[in-house]
Structure 1
Amino acid sequence: MTNKPNSRMNQYILQYLNSIYPLSPELESFLVDKIKSCSFEKNEIISKSGEICNRLYLIKKGMVRGYFISDSTEITTWIDTENELFTSITGFFRNQKTEEYIQSLEITLCDYLENDDYKYCLEHFPEMQQINRIMMEEYYIMAEHRVYLARIPNASKRLEFFIQHMKPQILDRIPKKHLASYLAIRPETLSRLTKDMN
């Protein structure tokens, strides 16, 4: 990870949060001092299993996945791209060691907020509570989609659901082995299905 100087020009996350709910000048001033920027190289491990991830990241540019390892096999559980937040849920919100890995799939630029600063915002700025509520609603909707996806028994219909309800705009950017893992289908099956779509 490469950290960048804390500059107001780098506070991409301020625009993002303001688009969710208007920030007070006081909260904006606090965030300007606390938000940091960083970058990750392609395929860089951001967080490992057994670590506590205490940062909430917003992707400005790039792509990130979460995965766990079962019997030496990497199983992708989520994929995030521009204007999406990511962290280890158990690490960030429960201060517990995570079982998942987080990895950048492209050169990825982020803004991030440390857990202590995030909690301070929730305790001292009412608008941050509103932002948190709205973000949690969005997270649960995405989690619901992932649950639906996992329950669809047919590989073709899982791909179709992904395209219709999730992230069709990044279909060509995701490495096929990771997309196949995410959809719980064999890479050769994914290759055949995507060829049939063209």
Structure 2
Amino acid sequence: MPPIQKTAKNLFIVQYLNSIYPLSPGFTSFLVDKIKNISFKKNEIISREGEICDKLFLIKKGLVRGYFVSENKDITTWIDSENEIFTSITGFFKHETSREYIQAMEDTYCDYLEYDDYKYCLDNFPEMLQIYRIMLEQYYVLAEHRVYLARIPNGRKRLEFFMETSKPEIVERIPKKYLASYLAMRPETLSRLL
């Protein structure tokens, strides 16, 4: 879907980044110039396996999942919602083709920054290094949660851990087949547990 025309008052990502670490006027001005808005329809594929994703997205409203396909079955590996950043990790940071798909599970509205602009921010605005550090720490905590979740042998305990470490209000918004896939269980098992 083509980018939506941006307006200075609609730069959600500027407010989000400023809440993490104070932005200088020069950095704010750069972001106002470079950030774009985009929307995705429910079920729209945002990025495909084999593509290079060169955008770092921040969800203003909506729900997104990452998944890969194995033996004709898609397996959900992560789920993000409002105020969360997503991209294809290998596609964006390593500029390599992705092994995963990214899909909107609801109509989703995002701000995004392209890779070259992201790199420029890191090289030219010291506050971006602080933001990067803080966000990297947050990402590692979430990655630890996903690794731990994947190793819990009991389905009920996986669901409980997910509820404890996620935004509980999104559980009702996630299609059950995707939540079941994320929790490594059959949809019927999830239905019994909910």
SS of 2:3's partner is: strand
| Corresponding residue number in structure 1 for 2:95 | 95
For 1:74, the equivalent position in structure 2 comes to: 74
**Structure 1 segments unaligned to the other structure (5+ residues):** none
Whole-angstrom distance in 2 between the partners of 1:165 and 1:138? 13
Amino acid at match of 1:77: T
Q: Following TM superposition, by how much is the alpha carbon of 1:167 offset from its aligned partner in structure 2, in angstroms?
A: 2.7
Match status 1:85 vs 2:81: no
TM superposition shift of 1:6: 1.8
| Aligned-residue offset at 1:2 | 3.9
Distance (whole Å) between structure 1 residues aligned to residue 58 and residue 181 of structure 2: 24
Structure 1 outlier segments of 4+, above 3 Å: none
User: RMSD over aligned Cα, in angstroms?
Assistant: 0.6
Deviations 1:23-68 (A, max 9, x none): 0000000000000000000000000000000000000000000000
- For structure 2, the residue ranges without an aligned partner over 5 or more in a row are none
Matches within 5 A, 1:1-198: 1-194=1-194
The C-alpha deviation readout for 1:125-173, integer Å capped at 9, x for no partner, is 0000000000000000000000000000000000010011123121100
Q: 2:130 is matched by which residue type in structure 1?
A: Q
Superposition TM-score, scaled by structure 1 size: 0.97
Q: Is contact 1:54-1:114 (8 Å) kept? A: yes
Residues 57 and 85 in structure 1, CA contact (< 8 A), matched pair in contact too: yes
The amino acid of 1:183's aligned partner reads: L
The number of residues matched between the two structures is: 194
Q: C-alpha separation between the residues in 1 aligned to 2:90 and 2:133?
A: 18
